[in-house]
């Protein structure tokens, strides 16, 4: 039986893998806003799909050049779009748009 863990989305693990330049295999989750297949950095697997995981792992082993290219694209995305500096800048913009509270 597969236990649902809807509160777990794996975003930290995703970003860690991207940051070190690895191809990504990840269970599909609607809360993850990075489409790893559209970005050509990895392969989605449906929740509970053991065979899907086996196939994804086998694909990467059978296509090492593509796996390496996925990893390079993943690392570049972290360097240019998904990193703490960009996150902090966007967060600062949000906070700067909040009007001060009058007491």
Res 77 pLDDT > 90: yes
What is the token pair recorded at 73? 């694209």
Domain count, the chain: 1
Please report which residue ranges of 20-83 form alpha helices under DSSP H: 50-62, 64-80
* Position 1 in a domain: no
* Position 56 in a domain: yes
* Position 63 in a domain: yes
What is the token pair recorded at 94? 């949000």
Average pLDDT value for the chain: 88
Residues 23, 70 contacting (CB under 8 angstroms) = yes
- Answer positive or negative: Cα dihedral of 88, 28, 9, 64: negative
* Position 34 in a domain: yes
Q: How far is CA 73 from the centre of its chain?
A: 12
* Position 4 in a domain: no
Q: What is the pLDDT of residues 50-60, one digit of tens each?
A: 999 999 999 99
* Position 5 in a domain: no
Q: Residue 21's pLDDT is what? A: 97
Tokens 């086998």 sit on residue: 58
Q: What is the span of the domain harbouring residue 18?
A: 11-96
What is the token pair recorded at 56? 């994804």
* Position 19 in a domain: yes
* Position 50 in a domain: yes
């Amino acid at each position: 039986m597969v236990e649902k863990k809807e509160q777990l989305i794996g975003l930290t693990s995703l970003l860690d893998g991207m940051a070190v330049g690895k191809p990504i295999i990840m269970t599909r989750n609607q809360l993850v806003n990075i489409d790893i297949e559209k970005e050509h950095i990895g392969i989605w697997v449906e929740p509970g799909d053991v065979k899907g995981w086996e196939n994804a792992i086998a694909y990467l082993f059978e296509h090492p050049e593509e796996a390496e290219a996925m990893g390079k694209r993943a690392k570049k995305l972290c360097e240019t779009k998904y990193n703490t500096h960009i996150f902090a800048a966007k967060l600062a913009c949000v906070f700067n748009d909040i009007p001060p509270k009058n007491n």
